[in-house]
Every structure is written in C-alpha cells, then in structure tokens.
Amino acid sequence: MGASAPDGGNDVNSQRPRVVIVGAGFAGLTVAKRLAKAPADITLIDRQNHHLFQPLLYQVATAGLSPADIAWPIRSLVRRQRNTRVLLGAVTGVDRTRKHVILDGLNIAYDVLVLATGASHGYFGHDSWAAHAPGLKTVDDATEIRRRLLLAFERAEMEPDARERQRLLTIVIVGGGPTGVEMAGAVVELARKALAADFRTIDPQQTHVLLVEAGPRLLASFPESLSSHAEQALRRLGVDVRLNQAVTECAAFGVALGDERVDAATVIWAAGVTASPAAAWLGVASDRVGRVVVGPDLQPLAADDIYVIGDTALALDAAGASLPGIAPVAKQQGAYVAAAIQARLSGRGAPPAFHYRDQGLLATVGRKTAVIAFGRVRLRGWFAWWLWGIAHIYFLVSLRNRLIVMTQWLWSYVSAERGARLITGLHSALDPDRLRRRHGDARLSDERKPA
Ligand SMILES: Cc1cc2nc3c(=O)[nH]c(=O)nc-3n(C[C@H](O)[C@H](O)[C@H](O)COP(=O)(O)OP(=O)(O)OC[C@H]3O[C@@H](n4cnc5c(N)ncnc54)[C@H](O)[C@@H]3O)c2cc1C
C-alpha cells in the first residue's frame, strides 16, 4: 500500500500511508491506540475534544457524577503516540474518488479510512419532539437534562398552583431499554433520597416518575426473567412503569400516551437511535436506522480501503443476527480493524472474518440491584450491582477517573447524596422578567409564597 499525493491539511513531508479515523468513541479510539506503533500517519478526527464513557452518562444527567469524571481530552489520550495527530471538527462528507474526507472546508487525504461516528437519538420521524424530550448521548445532553430536572424542583418550590406544581414534579422517561431503566432508577432516587430533605415547600417524595415502554417488557434484549426483575425493582423504588404504551406526542405540556395526557415538565428520550450519516457520505446501503451494512471484514465495499465500525455499522454475527450497539462490540471491532490495517501495512493478507466474543449484557436499577446476562449465566440483586460497578470502573480510561468515580459511588452508596447538583445556564432560565410574566409580580414576594 503506497502513499498517494499529499492533500490539504495533511503532513506534506510524509511518505507514509495515511490512516484517517473519524470518531474517537470506543471504536475509533481503539483503532488509534492499537496503531500506536504502526508505520503510518494517523489522523484522529472528532467533533468533540473528548472521549466519552457513555454508559455512565445517566449519572451525570442525574447529578451523581460530574462530566469530567467520565470524559477525557482525546489529545491527552494519544499524547505519547508520535504517529498520531488529532483534529477537532465535524466531518461532513467523504470523496471516495479523490480519497479524502471533508472537514470544515479542508480535504483530509487518506489511504485507509475508518468511519466510527456512532449514533444519535432518533424520534421515529417526529424531529419536533427533540426540543421537548432531549435524548442522552453527549455531555451537553446530560447537563441539559440535569438542568431541566433540578430546575423543575426549584420552580415547584415557588409554584402556588397545585396542578402546575405536580406537573413540575412529573418526569417521563420514554423507552424501557438499558438507558431508560437506568435513568428511571437514578431519577427516582435523586428525587426521593438525595433531594428529599432539601426543600421546604414541596415534598420531593411526591415526584411522579413514569417509564413508558411501547413493547411488552423492559430490557427487551435481556432474558425475560431479568426484565421482570428490573421491572419489579423499579416499581419498588416508586417508578410508574407503563408497558405496551407508546408515546404518541411530545409537546410543551408533557406527553400523550394515546388518549391519556400526562402533564410533565421533564421528558427524557431513551427510545430510538439513528446512526451517523456515514452511509450517505459513502453512498452505500444502510438499514432502517441508517447503519452502514458491512461485510464480515467490516467493510461496506469489498476490497476497498474503507472500514465502518461501532454503532454506525450494521454487522451480523455467525447466525445472521445483527450485533448490538454496545461498547464491547465497538471496541472489538476497533481491535479487528487495527489488526487488518497492520496486516495491510506489512503486506500480509487480511485477517479472518470478524467474530464478536460476547461480554454479556448489564444494566443497573438504582443503587442496590442490577441484572447481568452472560451466556447462560443470569445474575440479579446486590451481587450483580457490585459486578456492574466493578466492570464500569475497570473500563474507565484513566486511573484518576477510576479513583474519583469509585470514591463518589462509595460516598453516595452510604449517604444517598448527589454531589454534582449544579444547574448551569441559569441566567436565561431564571430571568426575573420571564418569571414575572409567568407568576405575576406579587407572587415573587416571600409573603405570598404558597403554604
Ligand atoms: C446513555 C447511554 C448509555 C449506554 N450504556 C451502555 C452500557 O451500559 N454498556 C454498553 O456496552 N454500551 C452502552 N451504551 C452504548 C455504547 O456507548 C455505544 O455502543 C458505543 O459508544 C459505540 O461506540 P462508537 O465508537 O461506535 O460510537 P461513540 O462512542 O458514540 O463515538 C462516536 C464518536 O464520533 C464522533 N463523531 C460523530 N459524528 C462525527 C462527525 N461528523 N465528525 C467527527 N466526529 C464525529 C462523536 O463525537 C463521538 O466521539 C450506551 C450508550 C448511551 C448513549
């Protein structure tokens, strides 16, 4: 594999093959790290400056962890890799003929391209719902959800109208997959344990948390026994679990479930995903949610120089079932592609087809129980919770973050406190003019506070 002519944005002096990796999530970062010693110029591009550990994002959204506890600057992660440079920016296209990716008006030339741009939330064609029901994918999403949750309690504390107060204390989580289940457990614990003693007018115990799932059970990808354990555990915590009920509208008032209207100030979307537009960039086949259909070599086009991996790819296992969009799949695919690129660089043949080694499915329900399915093994309860915790700490990227997260968890395990209860972006949210318009001047005075 020889280097082609240098192009805009690339090192013009280098004659080494250029490997461009778009996306520094679990998949892309694994490729980059595995190629640390490869005789190639590696360009790692991401539209964020940090790598994010998404499995713990719900804890940022519910004030259990701070963003920096689960995110790391990409530059620092590849600091020691002399063959790797990092570019911050959003890729908007790929020119397969000229072999470059388009990044903020620059053409970044490649000899081998790896697209690992992940997925985002999908609203089943109802894009207008996004404003009322934010999803959870980035640090910004998590801090926005945290802001909405905490602000709803603050507003409820000042709200004289009982119906509006109950609306402010109603939280709907749409989607009963792992993210929805974990969010529901964490939200109800935030309200009923961490906030319980901190308010004088409202009673956070009155918070109504609904988890709405269109299918017949929670955690559809888990064995049924674990789904029902998760459902019962959530009900015990006080979550109103609604199965077989689809959200038919998300609007400023809250949500509609068919004929039922649920007034809720906070709605969180954990229901659908849409892959990044990599399929459109390449002009190749995709599935219903936009994932690029790849072969057993994780390439969309046979014998090409392009790999697509992680959540943005649709890869099948040996039985023909699609691999799930989870971190272990992304990481193993990253390792496979790095090996395939190493083989190309050294003139060896391609490795055998990609094979996913199952690492199990895990989900936690609050601070005391979790469910784990690993092969034929089924675990539930506190022991599963500890295993879940150990696994997540183990997979965090740096020792610093492992220590911080472990300390925070141990503290909140014994105290039920949430240390990261910061409401950001308050200037606009608590603008006095806005509040006056809403409540009338008199209601802002202390004497008129509701009993
Ligand atoms: C809330 C939540 C909880 C989860 N919990 C679990 C869990 O408990 N266990 C588990 O195994 N999995 C979990 N997952 C799934 C897991 O996080 C994903 O499967 C995994 O992150 C996929 O890795 P990836 O590298 O394909 O994509 P990502 O990790 O999403 O990385 C994609 C990267 O590409 C970048 N990017 C996207 N578009 C562009 C562009 N146009 N230009 C430049 N850069 C771009 C993004 O900024 C991002 O850094 C969870 C996901 C979420 C959202």
Whether ligand 1 lies within 6 angstroms of the CB of 311 is answered as yes
Q: Is 419 in the pocket of ligand 1 (CB under 6 A)?
A: no
* 436 contact partners, CB below 8 Å, separation of at least 6: 444
Locate 191 and state its tokens: 């309200």
Q: How far apart are CA 109 and CA 91, in angstroms?
A: 13
Distance CA 166, CA 173 (A): 16
Confidence at 155, pLDDT banded by 50, 70, 90: very high
Q: Distance (Å, rounded) from C-alpha 144 to C-alpha 444?
A: 25
Asked which of 24-33, 185-194, 368-377, 431-440 is least confident by mean pLDDT, the reply is 431-440
Q: What is the pLDDT of residues 388-437, one digit of tens each?
A: 999 998 888 788 888 888 888 888 777 777 777 888 877 655 565 655 65
Distance of CA 399 to the CA centre of its chain: 22
Give residue 311 CA to ligand 1 midpoint distance, Å. 7
Of residues 27 and 422, more confidence is placed in 27
Give the model's confidence band at 447: pLDDT under 50 very low, under 70 low, under 90 confident, else very high: very low
Mean pLDDT of the chain: 90
The predicted model gives 310-328 an average pLDDT of 94
CA distance linking residue 85 with residue 74, whole number of Å? 10
Residue with structure tokens 């926005």? 144
Question: Which residue stretches of 294-369 are H helix?
Answer: 327-345
Q: Which atom of ligand 1 is nearest to the CA of 329?
A: 19
**Residue 428: predicted pLDDT:** 58
- Range 323-342 average pLDDT: 97
CA distance 390 to 402: 10
pLDDT at res. 410? 81
* 55 Cβ closer than 6 Å to some ligand 1 atom: yes
pLDDT of 399: 85
| Shortest-distance atom of ligand 1 to CA 29 | 25
Question: Ligand 1, residues 54, 289, 361: which to mutate, most atoms within 8 A of Cβ?
Answer: 54
Q: Which letter does DSSP use for residue 316 in this model? A: B
Q: Is 310 in the pocket of ligand 1 (CB under 6 A)?
A: yes
Three-class DSSP category at 417:
coil
User: Are 310 and 337 within 8 A, CB to CB?
Assistant: no
pLDDT digits (tens, 9 = 90+) for 265-306: 999 999 988 999 999 999 999 999 999 999 999 999 876 899
117 lines ligand 1 (CB under 6 A): yes
Q: Is 367 helix (H, G, I), strand (E, B) or coil?
A: coil
Please tell me the predicted confidence (pLDDT) of residue 301: 84
| H or E, element range at 198 | none
> Residue 154 pLDDT > 90, yes or no?
yes
For residue 189, indicate whether it is catalytic: no
Return the pLDDT at 394: 86
pLDDT of 11: 56
**Is the model's pLDDT at 6 over the cut of 70?**
no
Q: In degrees rounded to 5, what are phi and psi of residue 308? A: -130, 125
Q: Is the pLDDT of residue 450 over 50?
A: no
pLDDT number for residue 3: 43
Find the 1 Cα to ligand 1 centroid distance in Å.
Answer: 31
This prediction has a pTM of: 0.91
**Residue 312: C-alpha distances to residues 33, 68, 116, 117, 220 (Å):** 20, 25, 6, 6, 21
Q: Are 225 and 373 in contact (CB under 8 A)?
A: no
Q: Is the CB of 389 under 6 A from ligand 1?
A: no
Note whether 311 and 338 are within 8 A (CB). no
Q: Closest ligand 1 atom to the C-alpha of 270?
A: 1
- pLDDT computed for residue 84 by the predictor: 97
Do residues 219 and 226 touch, judged by C-beta distance below 8 A?
yes
d(Cα 160, Cα 156) in Å, to the nearest integer? 8
Q: Is 323 in the pocket of ligand 1 (CB under 6 A)?
A: no
Residues in the chain: 451
Model pLDDT, residue 65: 92
Tell me, using a 6 A CB cutoff, whether residue 135 lines ligand 1: no
Tell me the best of 312, 322, 326 to mutate to test the pocket of ligand 1, counting ligand atoms within 8 Å of each CB and taking the most: 326
Task: For residue range 63-116, list pLDDT tens digits in order.
Answer: 999 999 999 999 999 999 999 999 999 999 999 999 999 998 899 999 999 999
Signed CA dihedral, 382, 383, 386, 388: sign only: negative
Q: Ligand 1 center to residue 315 CA distance, Å?
A: 16
Using 50, 70 and 90 to split pLDDT, how confident is the model at 10? low
